[in-house]
Amino acid sequence: MADLPPKPSSLPFPDSLCHRCAAPPRYVESARGSVFILCPLLPNKYPPQPVRRCPLFRPDTQGPVS
């Protein structure tokens, strides 16, 4: 898998809380082209998506992913 810069048009689960989180999440693409949301704060790294509630969520004050 390789790290990707955020691409809003291709983000998986656009309604996921992760996209607006200051963690910040990372977007990782598998060799088969699937994009996964990697959380740097959770031990399991890849929370089940879409995340709708998260005790570690903090709003990203930098604004939406662009």
- Please report whether residue 25 would count as binding ligand SF4 according to CB under 6 A: yes
DSSP 31-52: TTS-EEEE-SSSTTSS--SS--
- For the CB of residue 1, give the shortest distance to ligand SF4 in the complex, in Å: 17
Q: Does residue 28 belong to the site contacting ligand SF4 (CB under 6 A)?
A: no
Q: Binding residue for ligand SF4 (CB under 6 A) from 4, 35, 54, 65?
A: 54
Tally the C-alpha atoms within 13 A of residue 18's C-alpha that lie toward its C-beta.
Answer: 24
Where do contacts with ligand SF4 occur on this chain (CB under 6 A)?
Answer: 17-18, 21, 23, 25, 39, 41-42, 47, 51, 54, 56-57
